[in-house]
Structure 1
Amino acid sequence: MLAEAVRKASVAWIAVGDGPAYAVWCVPVDDALYVVTGPGEQSLPGLAEADAAVVTLRGDHGGRIVSWPAQVGRLTPADEAWAAVAPQVAAKRLNSPEPAPRLVERWAAECVLSRLTPAAAPPTTGDALPAGSLAATPRETPAVRRTRRPFRLHRVRRRR
C-alpha cells in the first residue's frame, strides 16, 4: 500500500522533528518522493538539515491513508542521479516562473532537492491512524487584512 500511495502522490504533509506538518508538492520517482525547498520555492523549515521526517499521504478521495517515517537525503548537482531526477521534478512543477532547464539551473544554485525514502519502521495505516482532524489553528501571518463589504452600485430592494 505504501508503494502505491507514493507512486500516486502529488501532495504530501511532511513534519520535521516536533514541528507541524506542512503541505508541499512532491514528485514520486523510483519509490521515493522528491521535494524542492528554498528561495522562490516552497518553504518547509528544517527539511534541508534533517535526516528524518514523517510523511503523510492522502488517498484518491482526499483522506489520509498512510503515514510513514522517512529518511531524508539531499540530491546535489554533483550526484549522478541529479541529471535524471531534477528535470523530471522541474517538468512537474506547476506555474513555473521559468522554463524547466533554467529552473534546474536555479535549483542547483539556490535550492535544496530532498529525497524522502521509507525508513525501516513500518508505516501507520488504517485504524492505527488518528480519527480526528488534527487541524491546527492558523499560523500568524502579515498577509491578514480586513475584508470589506461588497460594493453595490444601485440600491437592492428586498422582495416581500
Structure 2
Amino acid sequence: MTSELLDQALVEEATKKSGLIWVTGNGVPTLRAEGAARPGRPLWHVWHDGAACVVGDGPGEQPLPGLDDGGDAVVTVRSKDKGGRLVAWPAKVVELAPDSAQWQAAVAELKGKRLNAPDGEAMPGRWARECRVLRLEPSGTPAELPDGSLAAPPLPSPATTRQPMPAALPRLLFRKKKRKEA
C-alpha cells in the first residue's frame, strides 16, 4: 500500500511540475521501418482531478495520434530542471463529452495554460466544436526507465529551419558608413 501511494505521489508531482509530457498511444506503431522505437509525442497539458488533461486534434491545436477513447497510452515525464526522464506511467485514455461537467472543469484549467490562442474567450466554444479533450488517467504502476538513450530523429513537421544567409547580407551589415562632411 505504501509503495502504491508513493508511486501515485511521484506521478502526480512530476506531471504537475512538467510543462510537457511525452505520450505514446496504442494506436501508434511502436516500431519504425528501421527498427528504432517510435518516440512519444510531446503534448502540453494540465494536471486536473487526478489525471493529465490535453486538448487537440483541431485546427491550430496539437495532434493527438493514437489516443483513442478507452485505449491505453504510456506517459513519460521529464524533469523541469534538468530535462531528464523522471517517470513513465501507463494511462487509460478517456475522451470527455463536450459541455459535460468534467469537460467544463478540464477546459477551465486548460484555457489558462493555452498560449497564443487565436480566439481568446471564444476558445472553449471552438474546442467543443472542433477538438477533443482527453484525460490520461494513471492506470498502473510506473514503468522502469530504460538505461540507454531514447534519442530518435524528430517526427515529420511542416516547420522549417533557418535558410542560408542571402549573399548581399554581409555587405549590408558590415559596410562602412560614410561620414557626412559639413
TM-score, structure 1 length as denominator?
Answer: 0.82
Q: Percent identity?
A: 40
For residue 89 of structure 1, what is the amino acid of its counterpart? L
Instruction: Report the Cα distance in structure 1 between the residues aligned to 2:98 and 2:48, rounded to whole angstroms.
Output: 17
What residue ranges of structure 1 are gaps of 5+ in the alignment? none
1:67/1:123 contact within 8 Å kept = yes
After TM superposition, list the pairs within 5 Å mapping 1:98-113 onto structure 2.
98-100=119-121, 102-113=122-133
For residue 155 of structure 2, what is the amino acid of its counterpart? R
Range that drifts further, 90-99 or 138-147: 138-147
Instruction: Report the Cα distance in structure 2 between the residues aligned to 1:50 and 1:106, rounded to whole angstroms.
Output: 24
Instruction: Quote the RMSD (CA, aligned, Å).
Output: 2.4
Give the one of 44, 51, 69 matched to 1:25: 44
Cα distance, 1:140 vs. partner? 4.0
Q: Which has the larger radius of gyration?
A: 2
More helix by share: 2
What residue ranges of structure 2 are gaps of 5+ in the alignment? 1-9, 31-37, 175-182
2:77 matched to which residue of 1?
57
After TM superposition, list the pairs within 5 Å mapping 1:1-160 onto structure 2.
1-17=10-26, 18-19=29-30, 20=38, 21-39=40-58, 40-49=60-69, 51-61=71-81, 62-100=83-121, 102-120=122-140, 122-124=141-143, 128-141=144-157, 143-144=159-160, 147-149=163-165, 151-153=169-171
Instruction: Report the Cα distance in structure 1 between the residues aligned to 2:99 and 2:173, rounded to whole angstroms.
Output: 66
More strand by share: 1
